Each structure stands twice: as structure tokens, then as C-alpha cells.
Amino acid sequence: MKRVALLLLAGLFGFATLQTAAAQTGSHEVKIDVDKVNTISVDNTVSFDITSSDIGSEVTDETADLDVTTNAPNNRKVTVQTTDVTENDASLKNVSLKVESTKNLGGTSNEVTITSLGSNSTGSPEDFLTGVSSIDEDDVPLKYTAEVNYEYDPNQTVTFTVKYTLTGGGN
């Protein structure tokens, strides 16, 4: 009987040990936070050298490009505007300048008129690319179109500073 009791006791102890070892678990949470990424930059300088045969015609330049990165899942947009113009009023009203993207980024691309012939002013921010979300695009081609009329003073130079801004969708 001692043997049976001893065997029973050893069996219970072994079973308890196995149960305790098998039932032990651990867990924890792994949290991933990602910073918002919203960057935009423009590469290259655009320069128009308009000849006498170009006056009164549109001349294009596609040497500049745009780099846009955002991880925002909501619709974002890129606006464009002139922030500085070095000129005299007589020259500015004899120049037209437009810009457009020749690459679709999944939304809508609009041609934006920065200034038009006969105007002495440049506009406020205008929608350039809309419906943009979660992209990392480099070298998005920018197509600038310029036109001057015969009243443009060839002794003057008009220089525009063009600003691109990534907005919307929770900056």
C-alpha cells in the first residue's frame, strides 16, 4: 500500500509539474508608430532664351522636375504660385508663363497660368496636382511654357520664383 501511495504521489507530482510547465505563456504588445512624411522639392533652373522667331509663339522647357513624397492616406494636393518676380511692370505684362506636369500621379494634373499677356500680376496659389496620396515620386517632369509679345523690352529680364506646396490630408 505504501508503494501504491508512493506511486500515486509521484504520479500526481509529475502530472502537476508537466501541467505547470505546459500552461506557462507570456505575451506583450508591439506598437509601430510611423512619422508623417510630407516632402516636396524642385530640381533644376528653367531659363528661356527667346529668339526673334519665337516672339508671339509659345516656347517650352522641360528641364525641371518635382520630387513628391507623402505617406498620408488622404487626398493631398500640390499648389503652385509665384512668390517673387524681379521685373518692371512694362516687361511683366508682355510675358505669359504656364506650368504643367507631364506625368499623372494618380490624381488630376492641371495646367496653371502663372501670369498671362496683358497682366501686371501673378496669382495666388492654384491647384497643380490634386488627388495625390501615399506616393514617393522622383523626377516628375515639369513643362513650362513661355510667350512674349513684340512690346517686351529685350533690355529687361523677368525672373519668377515659383513655389510648390504639398497641402491637405492632415499635414
Residue closest to 82 by CA, chosen among 71, 96, 68: 96
Residue closest to 132 by CA, chosen among 36, 38, 19, 62: 38
Q: What is the pLDDT of residue 171?
A: 46
Q: What is the pLDDT of residue 19?
A: 54
Q: What is the pLDDT of residue 42?
A: 95
Residue closest to 107 by CA, chosen among 125, 136, 124, 128: 128
- Give the helix/strand (H/E) hosting 101: strand 95-101
Ordered per-residue pLDDT tens for the chain, 171 residues? 666 555 665 665 665 555 555 778 999 999 999 998 999 999 999 999 999 999 999 999 999 999 999 998 888 899 999 887 876 666 788 999 999 998 877 788 889 998 888 887 777 899 999 888 888 999 999 999 999 999 988 888 888 899 999 988 544
Residue closest to 107 by CA, chosen among 154, 70, 53: 70
Domain layout of the chain by residue ranges: 38-167
Give this prediction's pTM: 0.78
Please enumerate in sequence order all residues whose Cβ is within 8 A of that of 129, keeping only pairs 6 or more positions apart, or say none.
68, 77, 78, 101, 105, 107, 108, 109, 110
Q: What is the pLDDT of residue 132?
A: 85
Q: What is the pLDDT of residue 20?
A: 54
- CATH topology assigned to domain 38-167: Immunoglobulin-like (2.60.40)
Q: What value, to the nearest 5°, has the Cα angle with vertex 169 and ends 139 and 122?
A: 65
Give yes or no for a contact between 99 and 142, defined as CB atoms under 8 angstroms apart: yes
Q: Which amino acid is at 130?
A: T
Q: Supply 35's cell numbers.
A: 512619422
